[in-house]
Structure 1
C-alpha cells in the first residue's frame, strides 16, 4: 500500500511514496529528519523550521510505520549520534568480522555504512543478529 506525500524541497516539488524509503535518520538534538530518494543517493533533509508540513508528514508516517511494523522488519537504532529507523528487509547484505565483534551493512539509496560493535551497541547488535537468523535461517556468528 502506497503512502504518498507531496512537498516542496529546495525549489522542487516532490511526490514521494514514503513506503519506498528504506531508512530515515534523525539527529537527536536538532529535530532534523533525513532520508534518501529511492534509486538515488540524493538526501532530503527536513526540519520544522524550513518545511513544517513535510516534516510533520514524514514524522507521522514514521510513527505509524514503526508502531505498526507489520512485517517486523523496521527497527530503530542509535548510531553516530543519530537515531535511524531502518527497514531491514531492504538491506542486501550483512557482514561480520570473524571474531564477531562488528556487524556492518549499507543503507540502500545512501552511501551510509552502519557498523555496530557488540560492546558499544549490544542491544542494536542483538536486534540485527535476531533479524538475520529469523529471516535468513543463517547466523553470522
Structure 2
C-alpha cells in the first residue's frame, strides 16, 4: 500500500513512497536527514528549518520502521559521524577484506560503508548475522 509523503524540495514537488527507500542517514549535530531516491541516486536532504513538515514525516517513518523492523532487516549503524538506518535485505553485495573489514554500498547511492570489527563491533556482528542467516554463507 505504501507510505506516501509529499515533499516540496528545491524546485519540485515530490510524491515519494518511503517504503521504497532502502537507507536513511541522520546527522545529529545539524539535524539533517538524507535519503536517496530509488533508481536515481539523487539525494533528498531535509532540515527542519527549510521543510519542517516533511522532516517530521520522514523522521516519524524512520522511527516507526526501525522500531518495529517488521519489514526487512532494518539496522541502525553509526558511521562517519552519522547514524544510518539501512534495510540490509536491499544490499546486493558485501565485500570482506583481508584485514577483516566488511564493506557494502547503499542502494540507489554511491555511498559505501566500511565496517571495522574493532571500532564498530555491534554493527559488524549485525551484518555478519544477516549475511549468514540470509545467504547461508559466512564471511571469513
Aligned to 1:55: 55
3-state DSSP class of the match of 1:67?
Answer: helix
Aligned to 2:106: 107
Aligned to 2:83: 83
Structure 1 consecutive aligned stretches of length 4 or more whose deviation exceeds 6 Å = none
* Long gaps (5+) in structure 2: none
The CA deviation at 1:72 is 5.0
**TM value normalised by structure 2:** 0.97
The CA deviation at 1:98 is 3.2
* Long gaps (5+) in structure 1: none
**TM value normalised by structure 1:** 0.96
Provide the C-alpha distance between the structure 2 equivalents of 1:51 and 1:72, rounded to a whole number of angstroms. 28
C-alpha RMSD of matched pairs (Å): 1.0
- Show CA shifts across 1:72-131 (max 9, x none): 5000000000000000000001010134x2000000111101000011111111110011
